[in-house]
Chain A
Amino acid sequence: EVQLVESGGGLVQPGGSLIISCDASGFIFSSYAMNWVRQAPGKGLEWVSYISGSSSTKYYADSVKGRFTISRDNAKNSLFLQMNSLRDEDTAVYYCARDTLTLFDYWGQGTLVTVSS
């Protein structure tokens, strides 16, 4: 059974940093690209970042480019999102999602990141 479990969310001040993680199981992690998708409270879904299975290709939404860094550790079946220079508008539930030919076929339960002073 495919499982994705996010962790690391919490309260952080504007301008601060946070790293969130996603632990994967039930599939060959290195064979799949992965994404982060976020959802601000009461709002819709926003794609944030993509990383290929080998980490050779990475993409970012314009809203986070230069501030967020996606990475993965295939030996540990883990996905990460390093978030720097956080802003109020980054407050959201962050989901990791498995990528199968650019559709998101499995999602984690999400981790809440709150940016507030």
Chain B
Amino acid sequence: DIQLTQSPSSLSASVGDRVTFTCRASQSISSYLNWYQQKPGKAPKLLIYTASSLQSGVPSRFSGSGSGTDFTLTISSLQPEDFATYYCQQSYNTPPWTFGQGTKVEIK
């Protein structure tokens, strides 16, 4: 199975900060990497698909990049509603489709 490792596991940041976190795959997954945001007690929400495509309705401050094994999610200017946990997910080839362990973004 393809393993995804996210770093850091958590980070503290302030409103207005630029934040970047990473997702590394155990083997090449081309661009089949998606990012989700989850707030406490809520379902995950799709933010970015195929590494860099912004899901409809998602603010443009979110961006994704990468291919192969290394991927990043960047929030250009952190907003109060962005404090949440972010998960990457690979959708390469056949199942199992795996998730990273998550990066929790907390208020500094």
Chain A residues proximal to chain B, CB less than 8 Å: 37, 44-47, 50, 59, 61-62, 95, 101-110
Q: For residue A37, which residues in chain B have a CB less than 8 angstroms away from its CB?
A: 44
> Does A104 lie within 8 Å of B94, measured CB to CB?
no
CA distance A47 to B96 in the complex (A): 7
Stretch of B11-19, B20-28, B65-73, B99-107 with 4 or more beta carbons under 8 angstroms from chain A: B99-107
> Does A44 lie within 8 Å of B49, measured CB to CB?
no
> Does B102 lie within 8 Å of A110, measured CB to CB?
no
> Does A102 lie within 8 Å of B99, measured CB to CB?
no
Answer whether residue B80 sits at the interface, using C-beta atoms and an 8 A cutoff: no
Secondary structure of the A contact surface, majority rule = strand
Contact with A along B64-89 (1 / 0, CB 8 A): 00000000000000000000000101
Chain B residues proximal to chain A, CB less than 8 Å: 32, 34, 36, 38, 42-46, 49-50, 55, 87, 89, 91, 94-102
Give chain A nearest CB distance to B48 CB in angstroms: 10
> Does B46 lie within 8 Å of A62, measured CB to CB?
no
Residue of B nearest to A4 (CB): B43
| Contact status of A47 and B101, CB under 8 A, knowing A104-B44, A110-B43 | no
A-B contact pairs, 22 of them (CB 8 A): A37-B44, A45-B36, A45-B38, A45-B87, A45-B89, A45-B102, A59-B95, A61-B95, A61-B96, A95-B44, A102-B32, A102-B91, A103-B46, A103-B49, A103-B91, A104-B34, A105-B55, A107-B43, A107-B45, A108-B43, A109-B43, A110-B43
> Does A44 lie within 8 Å of B101, measured CB to CB?
yes
Give chain A nearest CB distance to B41 CB in angstroms: 9
> Does A44 lie within 8 Å of B46, measured CB to CB?
no
| Contact status of A44 and B100, CB under 8 A, knowing A102-B32, A103-B91, A104-B89 | yes
